């Protein structure tokens, strides 16, 4: 069986956890957290990085920092994870869903302006599969309409756009270190602030609405309740684990890219045959090989394809179910125009196994099986017609 994901451990995680244990500093913001913050600030070039317990938590902090009030509108793709929307809905915000581009499956920048109303406050570009949104266009629209941009860079660590690391371009950004991501700590995330006006308040919101961080730096002689907030910081054991991963981030990314490139070359002929579509990475984007996906012709063929791979011992998975037509999306949000690319891509997309310890023979066996099965489903091989199960 080739699983879809197998979390990679560098070998140093338990050593660093034992150091945190020996230091007897187990709550947040100890020496490992500080090392992780410094690494993120240096590698991404953000003004301030703050570890959180998840990307979901970082997005919730960003929604508070953006001062989202009931009825404020937030433009985002429908093709994303629920947390992108929930973070704002928790503050009374209204997600306004815009379709994605057919090439990258990222927020379609040409459809954003039509979604802007006097209530619009924020745009959330989601960098799908670690491939950047057209950030120049999005930042220009935001500037023209005085909007805040919060990058959902859950999948975007070590990727860049026109030479700029993802997470460094919007006013704020959120990263994920969930075990399915490239750099992991089980659960984990980070809020990145690029606009200095958010830095001080971000520290307060993350520390239960208090100025405890200033107190620990000796800047105030006692800490008090300053603002709304919650407990968003992870403990030191998580940060110690994460530090081991950050030290190996370059090697992890290199291996993932080698697997991604092998898949991409391996599926080129099948794409020319019209059996499937491969991911498209625009020339100005350097990606991090977070994901390798294929687009099959339709839902029935994708379902049949996934079942066939499963029968051959290969785990493949679909991805986001559109938010605009989900029960909560219909209740609390609205779509701006049709979300046709979202709907069809969501039904056609299948993600293949991609994890650091996959060897070339394993990757080749996935390629061979996938091409054979894509050909079989295209030919309408004598299998029962697939029923739409799984994704919905
Ligand atoms: C685009 C996007 N945003 C946010 C999240 C939430 O991340 P976390 O699990 O760290 O809260 C995910 C999770 O996969 C995601 O794909």
What's residue 386's pLDDT?
A: 43
CB contact at 8 A, 339 and 371: no
Confidence of residue 385 (pLDDT cuts 50, 70, 90): very low
Ligand 1 pocket, mutate which of 57, 81, 351 (most atoms under 8 A from CB): 81
State if residue 185 touches ligand 1 by the CB under 6 angstroms criterion: no
| pLDDT at res. 142 | 98
**Ligand 1 pocket member 153 (CB < 6 A):** no
Structure tokens that stand for 92 in this block? 């009374």
- Over the stretch 321-333, which tens digit does the pLDDT of each residue have? 999 999 999 999 9
How many beta carbons lie within 10 A of that of residue 208, not counting itself? 17
Checking phi first, is residue 200 left (phi over 0); if not, alpha (psi -120 to 50) or beta?
alpha
Q: Which of 83, 130, 133, 156 to mutate to test the pocket of ligand 1 (most atoms within 8 A of CB)?
A: 83
Lowest model confidence (mean pLDDT) among 93-97, 143-147, 213-217: 213-217
Q: Residues 370-381: pLDDT tens digits?
A: 999 999 999 986
282: phi > 0 → left, psi -120 to 50 → alpha, else beta; which?
beta
DSSP string, 105-145: -SB-GGGTGGG--TTEEEE--B-GGGPPP-HHHHHHHHHHH
Output the CA 76–ligand 1 centroid distance in Å.
14
Handedness of CA 243, 177, 74, 64 (dihedral sign): negative
Residue 135: CB within 6 Å of ligand 1?
Answer: no
pTM: 0.96
A 10 A CB-CB count for 24 gives 8
Kindly report, residue by residue over 277-290, the tens digit of the pLDDT. 999 999 999 999 99
What is the pLDDT averaged over residues 240-263? 98
Q: Which atom of ligand 1 is nearest to the CA of 177?
A: 10
Q: Report how far ligand 1's centroid is from the alpha carbon of 98 (Å).
A: 19
207-236 per-position pLDDT tens digit = 999 999 999 999 999 999 999 999 999 999
- Contact in structure between 64 and 93 (CB atoms under 8 Å): no
Q: What percent of the chain has pLDDT over 70?
A: 97
Instruction: Please tell me the distance between residue 152's alpha carbon and the centre of ligand 1 in angstroms.
Output: 8
pLDDT digits (tens, 9 = 90+) for 100-119: 999 999 999 999 999 999 99
Q: How confident is the model over 10-23, as a mean pLDDT?
A: 97
Cross-strand partners of 225: 210
């Amino acid at each position: 069986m080739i699983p879809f994901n197998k979390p990679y451990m560098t070998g140093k995680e338990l050593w660093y956890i034992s150091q945190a244990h020996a230091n007897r500093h187990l709550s947040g913001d100890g020496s490992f957290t500080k090392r992780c913050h410094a690494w993120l600030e240096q590698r991404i070039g953000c003004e301030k990085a703050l570890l959180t317990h998840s990307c979901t938590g970082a997005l919730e902090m960003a929604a508070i920092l953006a001062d989202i009030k009931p009825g404020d509108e937030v433009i985002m793709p429908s093709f994303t994870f629920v947390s992108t929307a929930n973070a704002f809905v928790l503050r009374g915000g209204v997600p306004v869903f815009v379709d994605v581009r057919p090439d990258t499956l990222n927020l379609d920048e040409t459809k954003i302006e039509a979604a802007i109303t006097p209530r619009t406050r924020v745009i959330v570009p989601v960098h799908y599969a670690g491939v950047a949104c057209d950030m120049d266009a999005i930042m220009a629209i935001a500037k023209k309409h005085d909007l805040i941009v919060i990058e959902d860079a859950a999948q975007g660590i070590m990727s860049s756009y026109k030479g700029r690391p993802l997470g460094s371009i919007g006013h704020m950004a959120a990263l994920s270190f969930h075990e399915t991501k490239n750099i992991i700590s089980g659960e984990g995330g980070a809020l990145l602030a690029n606009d200095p006006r958010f830095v001080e308040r971000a520290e307060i919101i993350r520390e239960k609405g208090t100025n405890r961080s200033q107190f620990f730096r000796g800047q105030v002689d006692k800490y008090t309740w300053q603002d709304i907030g919650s407990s968003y910081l992870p403990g030191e054991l998580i940060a110690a684990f994460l530090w081991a991963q950050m030290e190996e981030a370059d090697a992890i990314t290199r291996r993932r890219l080698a697997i991604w490139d092998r898949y991409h070359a391996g599926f080129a002929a099948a794409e020319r045959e019209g059996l499937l579509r491969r991911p498209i990475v625009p020339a100005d984007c350097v990606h991090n090989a977070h994901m390798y996906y294929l687009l099959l012709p339709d839902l029935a063929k994708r379902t049949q394809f996934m079942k066939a791979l499963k029968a051959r011992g290969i785990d493949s998975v679909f991805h986001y179910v559109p938010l605009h037509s989900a029960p909560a999306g219909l209740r609390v949000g609205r779509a701006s125009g049709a979300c046709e690319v979202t709907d069809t891509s969501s039904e056609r997309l299948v993600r293949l196994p991609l994890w650091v310890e996959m060897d070339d023979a394993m990757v080749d066996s996935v390629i061979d099986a996938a091409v054979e099965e894509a050909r079989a489903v295209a030919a309408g091989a004598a299998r029962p017609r697939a029923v739409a199960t799984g994704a919905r």
